[in-house]
């Protein structure tokens, strides 16, 4: 189904057209095969980078496109509707550029940012640990100052791009317990002691490699400290406010793909002498899905427009992530139902969509954590 969008500029429309063209040509035909073989599509990411789609929200002086967040998110939504793993990769990469782009010194940005957002590199965001996912402030990876650098030791868990990233945001403890003891370091793949472990055997997103990373006395130069010592937790949370909107966009795109596929099938498939879409039981299910997707998109865009206007948006981002990912779960489950037995086999993409939707309710703060964020804001008044 064509989505009717109100975009801020003609340039934004051109970008969405370009994203659609690349998504149809490079993503859609490759998704099923790569997912089946658990093969990361590095070349596809390079193509997106060369087309300027890996640095959309960042400044032109660093090689970005200086696009409003609402435009970036709609590009992401289009990519996700063709292949979630690629959209997620773009979202994680964009998240990984955020600490430097927002908190780096002018010198750090000038020196490092063009390479990060230039399209050839991919980033990883190393916050979660084996014993601390939701309770990120309890992280234990340690960085000890030693001369002109830090020596980092510890293990990060569930790191997207662990095996393929060129740079790593490492959230690590330079001070005492709690959030105030955490700092952010930006490491390169070339630094010794960065050891990705065996890839996790995930339920979905097989083309997106996720693994623990052991940091074994990794030496990171002191001029790779982003923000001051002790500012890392604030940086991590601020990055996640933006990142959660990326996950919401992925969810909207995935849900739209599932709905479109289910509608197409329901119009073709006949039972009892009629197209199954004409049975009210199915038609209403599809109507609910279409309505929920529109609502999720509207919530996501409201939060993005607040961000673009420089207004506080973290609570709206939490609501958008929570709602959009719950919608994606519900809609993909229903899409399987609409296809009946055909929905349960890999000949059709909806069983994959259903498995992929699940992770969106977990990453970048589980949906319980989004509710914690929203309810705390309500309690504070
Ligand atoms: C495929 C994949 C990719 C990922 N990529 C990255 C990445 O690139 N970088 C990164 O740093 N992390 C990444 N993660 C980690 C992800 O962010 C964490 O899995 C998530 O934050 C939850 O942490 P946890 O798995 O330790 O679960 P836990 O924190 O142990 O939570 C277990 C359960 O308890 C619930 N819970 C915990 N605390 C509360 C509370 N206060 N109130 C109510 N319920 C609560 C949770 O909602 C959950 O249901 C990824 C995870 C996956 C699966």
Pairing of the two strands 270-271 and 274-275: antiparallel
Contact by Cβ (8 Å): 41, 34: yes
From 243, 362, 367, 370, the mutation candidate for ligand 1 (largest count of ligand atoms within 8 A of CB) is 362
Distance 79 CA to ligand 1 centre (A): 24
As a whole number, mean pLDDT of residues 135-151 equals 97
CATH superfamily of the domain spanning 10-117: Acyl-CoA dehydrogenase/oxidase, N-terminal domain (1.10.540.10)
From 129, 168, 363, the mutation candidate for ligand 1 (largest count of ligand atoms within 8 A of CB) is 363
Kindly report the backbone phi and psi dihedral angles of residue 195, in degrees, each rounded to the nearest multiple of 5, phi listed first: -120, 90
Which ligand 1 atom sits closest to the C-alpha of 130?
Answer: 26
pLDDT tens digits for range 26-36: 999 999 999 99
Predicted pLDDT at 129: 98
**41: Cα separation from own chain's centroid:** 16
Which ligand 1 atom sits closest to the C-alpha of 161?
Answer: 8
Distance 158 CA to ligand 1 centre (A): 9
Nearest-angstrom CA–CA distance, 191 and 168? 10
- Tell me the angle at which helices 280-308 and 314-339 cross, rounded to the nearest 10 degrees: 160
Percent of the chain with pLDDT over 70: 100
Predicted pLDDT at 132: 86
As a whole number, mean pLDDT of residues 73-90 equals 98
Distance 126 CA to ligand 1 centre (A): 13
Predicted pLDDT at 186: 98
CA distances (Å), origin 339, targets 106, 122, 284, 293: 54, 37, 15, 19
Which token pair is 365? 């703060």
As a whole number, mean pLDDT of residues 49-57 equals 94
DSSP string spanning 244-289? Answer: HHHHHHHHHHHHHHHHHHHHHHHHH-EETTEEGGGSHHHHHHHHHH
Which residue's CA is the closest to the ligand 1 atom numbered 30?
Answer: 133
Break the chain into its structural domains and give their ranges. Answer: 10-117, 123-233, 238-380
As a whole number, mean pLDDT of residues 343-356 equals 98
Distance 369 CA to ligand 1 centre (A): 9
Whether 1 shows a pLDDT value over 80: the answer reads no
What 3-state DSSP class applies to 196? Answer: strand
Say whether 364 is catalytic. yes
Which token pair is 299? 């919530």
As a whole number, mean pLDDT of residues 278-288 equals 98
Which ligand 1 atom sits closest to the C-alpha of 202?
Answer: 1
Model confidence at 218, pLDDT cuts 50, 70, 90, reads very high
User: Which of 26, 35, 231, 364 is the catalytic position?
Assistant: 364
As a whole number, mean pLDDT of residues 201-225 equals 97
CA distances (Å), origin 358, targets 325, 351, 375: 8, 12, 23
Nearest-angstrom CA–CA distance, 379 and 120? 45
Taking CB atoms and a 6 Å cutoff, what residues make up the pocket around ligand 1?
92, 125-128, 133-134, 158-160, 202, 205, 210, 359, 362-366, 368-369, 372
Tally of residues, the chain: 381
Calculate the average pLDDT of the chain. 97
CATH topology of domain 123-233: Butyryl-CoA Dehydrogenase, subunit A; domain 2 (2.40.110)
Rg (CA), the chain: 21
Whether 119 shows a pLDDT value over 90: the answer reads no
Which ligand 1 atom sits closest to the C-alpha of 171?
Answer: 11
pLDDT tens digits for range 226-254: 999 999 999 999 999 999 999 999 999 99
From 96, 122, 126, 128, the mutation candidate for ligand 1 (largest count of ligand atoms within 8 A of CB) is 128
Distance 156 CA to ligand 1 centre (A): 12
Nearest to 68 by CA among 251, 314, 344, 303: 303
Which ligand 1 atom sits closest to the C-alpha of 127?
Answer: 11
Predicted pLDDT at 2: 86
- Do 123-233 and 238-380 have matching folds? no
Which residue's CA is the closest to the ligand 1 atom numbered 50?
Answer: 158
Model confidence at 381, pLDDT cuts 50, 70, 90, reads confident
Nearest-angstrom CA–CA distance, 257 and 19? 15
Model confidence at 118, pLDDT cuts 50, 70, 90, reads confident
CATH superfamily of the domain spanning 238-380: Butyryl-CoA Dehydrogenase, subunit A, domain 3 (1.20.140.10)
Percent of the chain with pLDDT over 90: 98
CA angle 16, 84, 18 (to 5 degrees): 20
| pTM check: above 0.75 | yes
Nearest to 246 by CA among 86, 38, 120: 86
pLDDT tens digits for range 256-270: 999 999 999 999 999
Distance 200 CA to ligand 1 centre (A): 15
């Amino acid at each position: 189904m064509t989505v009717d969008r109100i975009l801020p500029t003609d340039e934004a429309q051109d970008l969405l057209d370009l994203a659609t063209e690349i998504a149809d040509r490079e993503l859609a035909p490759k998704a099923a095969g790569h997912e089946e073989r658990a093969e990361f599509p590095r070349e596809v990411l390079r193509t997106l980078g060369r087309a300027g789609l890996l640095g959309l929200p960042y400044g032109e002086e660093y090689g970005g496109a200086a696009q409003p967040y609402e435009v970036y998110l709609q590009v992401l939504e289009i990519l996700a509707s063709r292949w979630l793993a690629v959209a997620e990769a773009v979202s994680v990469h964009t998240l990984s550029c955020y600490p430097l782009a927002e908190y780096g010194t002018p010198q750090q940005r000038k020196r490092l940012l063009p390479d990060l957002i230039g399209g050839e590199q991919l980033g990883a965001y190393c916050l979660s640990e084996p014993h601390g996912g939701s309770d990120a402030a309890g992280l234990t990876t340690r960085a000890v100052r030693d001369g002109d650098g830090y020596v980092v030791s510890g293990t990060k868990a569930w790191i997207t791009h662990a095996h393929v990233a060129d740079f790593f945001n490492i959230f690590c403890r330079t001070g005492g317990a709690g959030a105030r003891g955490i700092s952010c370091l930006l490491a390169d793949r070339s630094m010794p002691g960065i050891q990705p472990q065996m890839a996790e055997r995930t339920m979905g997103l097989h083309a997106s490699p996720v693994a623990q990373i052991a940091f074994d006395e990794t030496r990171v130069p002191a001029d790779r400290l982003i923000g001051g010592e002790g500012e890392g937790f604030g940086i991590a949370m601020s990055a996640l406010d933006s990142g959660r909107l990326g996950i919401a966009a992925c969810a909207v795109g995935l849900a739209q793909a599932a709905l479109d596929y289910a509608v197409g099938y329901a119009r073709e498939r006949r039972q009892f002498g009629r197209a199954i879409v004409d049975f009210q039981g199915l038609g209403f299910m599809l109507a609910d899905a279409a309505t929920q997707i529109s609502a999720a998109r509207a919530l996501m865009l409201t939060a993005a427009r607040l961000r673009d206007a420089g207004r506080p948006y973290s609570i709206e981002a939490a609501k958008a992530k929570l709602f959009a990912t719950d919608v994606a779960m519900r809609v993909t489950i229903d899409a399987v139902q609409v296809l009946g037995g055909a929905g349960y086999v890999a000949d059709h993409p909806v069983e994959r969509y259903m498995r992929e939707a699940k992770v969106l309710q977990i990453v970048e703060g589980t949906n319980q954590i989004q509710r914690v964020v929203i309810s705390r804001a309500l309690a504070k008044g």
